[in-house]
A and B are shown apart, each in its own frame.
Chain A
């Protein structure tokens, strides 16, 4: 089965390209990034600030059991609805330098769309270090999905 989300990281480049095709119209896909309430819902985070405009900025934090465990922020350089977002991304209280992200939104059909996230790192070493960090939230996410399904059965 072909994977819906693909990650391409070439050995000798300080970048990652993530692509994903969605079973959603382009406008809905973009809205998931534009509306703070929706962004909070799918990212499982709290939006502290989201100024969707050139030279605007954003910040969000993720808590667990009442403790903040992750904070990130950045500046928006380009914000073109249903087309692209260019922004920086910085994880607070970590040694990782700021990274540059190019998000491209494309219409495939009336009901499907594609997102390409092109992320540039300060160096190949930092990119590899980030990939090697045991970030994976897969287990928690799987639990969340299970919870959703269970709730629907109620």
Chain B
């Protein structure tokens, strides 16, 4: 299985990206994470499961609670991450160009 592709599929979903942003600040339980979203709790659980499976999140048991952390090992060196970041802006700007060309021809 192509693990890298799994990671990219995992982060293609905006809710999952929002979850990753949320736990960047501190480890949280599933309940606390879910309370930040209007989405149904089982849906959030499913997202957490996917993020954990592709190792973007790690689980840590603390008493009766399970806390979710960002997995720092999955985070790469700056150079490796410039390309996805550049790609994101390139996509945005391509869209801008397309929108404005359409606008101009109206």
Cα-based distance from A139 to B43 in the complex (angstroms)? 21
Cβ–Cβ contact B92 & A136, under 8 A: no
Cα-based distance from A70 to B22 in the complex (angstroms)? 11
The residue in chain B whose Cβ has the minimal distance to the Cβ of A115 is B93
Complex interface residues of chain B between 87 and 103 (CB less than 8 A to chain A): 87-101, 103
> Interface size (A, Cβ < 8 Å)?
51
The residue in chain A whose Cβ has the minimal distance to the Cβ of B56 is A134
Cβ–Cβ contact A22 & B96, under 8 A: yes
Cβ–Cβ contact A134 & B84, under 8 A: yes
Complex interface residues of chain B between 21 and 41 (CB less than 8 A to chain A): 21-22, 24-25, 36-39
**Residue of B14, B25, B84 with highest tally of chain A CB at under 10 A:** B14
Known pairs A5-B86, A9-B78, A133-B20; A141 contacts B95 (CB<8 A): yes
Cα-based distance from A22 to B93 in the complex (angstroms)? 8
Which chain A residues have a beta carbon within 8 Å of chain B's beta carbons?
3-7, 9, 11, 18, 20, 22-24, 28-29, 31-32, 38, 41-44, 62, 64-70, 91, 93-95, 115, 128-129, 131-142, 144-145, 148
Q: A65-B39, A94-B24, A136-B8 are in contact. List 6 more A-B contacts (CB 8 A).
A: A24-B104, A69-B15, A94-B25, A135-B85, A138-B88, A141-B88
Q: Would you give the shortest CB distance from A81 to chain B, in whole angstroms?
A: 15
Cα-based distance from A115 to B105 in the complex (angstroms)? 22
Cβ–Cβ contact A148 & B98, under 8 A: yes
Known pairs A22-B96, A22-B97; A139 contacts B88 (CB<8 A): no
Contacts of B11 in A (CB 8 A): 134-136
Q: Would you give the shortest CB distance from A52 to chain B, in whole angstroms?
A: 17
Task: Confirm or deny: B12 has a beta carbon within 8 angstroms of a beta carbon on chain A.
Answer: yes
Contacts of B9 in A (CB 8 A): 139
Task: Confirm or deny: B46 has a beta carbon within 8 angstroms of a beta carbon on chain A.
Answer: no
Out of A22, A91, A140, name the residue touching B21 (CB < 8 Å): A91
Q: Would you give the shortest CB distance from A123 to chain B, in whole angstroms?
A: 13
Cβ–Cβ contact B21 & A32, under 8 A: no
Cα-based distance from A141 to B89 in the complex (angstroms)? 10
Out of B15, B39, B81, name the residue touching A132 (CB < 8 Å): B81
Q: Would you give the shortest CB distance from A150 to chain B, in whole angstroms?
A: 14
Known pairs A4-B93, A28-B100, A42-B99; A135 contacts B88 (CB<8 A): yes
Cβ–Cβ contact B17 & A135, under 8 A: yes
Q: Would you give the shortest CB distance from B98 to chain A, in whole angstroms?
A: 7
Known pairs A62-B14, A67-B38, A140-B12; A29 contacts B87 (CB<8 A): no
